[in-house]
Amino acid sequence: LRTLEVDALSHTSGPLQGQDYRVALACAYAGVHYVDLADGRDFVCGIDVLDPQAKTAGVLLLSGASSVPALSSAVVDALASGMARVSDIDIGISQGNRTDRGLSTVAAILSYCGKPLPGSGQQQAVIGWLRSYGHDYPAPVGRRLLSACDVPDLALLPLRYEGSPSIRFGAGLELSFLQRGMNAMAWLAHRGLVQDWSAHARRLKRMADWFRNWGSDAGA
């Protein structure tokens, strides 16, 4: 980093779930600003452990500059502006089936399929991708199925607003049979019949790509 005289580094080599902070730490030692587009809860929420190094070096070490939690938090900030108290936050993201899905993204999603998610206000544990619920988006997206997913927002947003709001965060696929397939996979993992679906990410992505030209590129 010093030899290349880098001013800032953008870390996009995912999935960042399970990675450590050696890249960010190297940036701090080299006096380089750091930003990544991680959406893994533990990775994003834990980067504050490097705050002393960042302050000493006078650099920015920023995690989560992605759809979540950066853009999602910006939307919630705008909607909650002027409110004295926030009790519930409900977020859903659904992409069009023709939108590019990288292998790292697929592996990250599969890593928590069928596993308990952190507390988000519900009394019972929420299992990633186990069940689906519907939401009607404006045209051209229309009705989509959403399932609970693991994102930094579940841990960050309750601390951000007065009232410690309950958070529900769902993600969805445009093709309902692919969504139901994810629900079935989550059931198998929840029952202990599959340990970690991310180990099969490459094969599952290939199968999903069979239907790549179905649906649309409209997301919301």
pLDDT digits (tens, 9 = 90+) for 188-206: 999 999 999 999 999 999 9
Determine the Cα–Cα distance for residues 23 and 16; give it in Å rounded to an integer: 11
> What pLDDT does residue 188 have?
96
Tens-digit pLDDT profile for residues 75-96: 999 999 999 999 999 999 999 9
Tens-digit pLDDT profile for residues 114-126: 999 876 445 567 8
**Strand pairing partners for 8?**
33
> What pLDDT does residue 157 have?
92
Structure tokens at 199: 């180990």
> What pLDDT does residue 120 have?
47
For the cut 50, the answer to whether the pLDDT of residue 213 exceeds it is yes
Contact 150, 73 (CB under 8 A): no
> What pLDDT does residue 204 have?
93
pLDDT band at 15 (very low <50, low <70, confident <90, very high): confident
Q: What is the mean pLDDT of residues 46-70?
A: 95
> What pLDDT does residue 99 have?
87
> What pLDDT does residue 119 have?
61
For the cut 50, the answer to whether the pLDDT of residue 105 exceeds it is yes
User: 143's torsion region: left (phi>0), alpha (psi -120 to 50) or beta?
Assistant: beta
Determine the Cα–Cα distance for residues 157 and 32; give it in Å rounded to an integer: 28
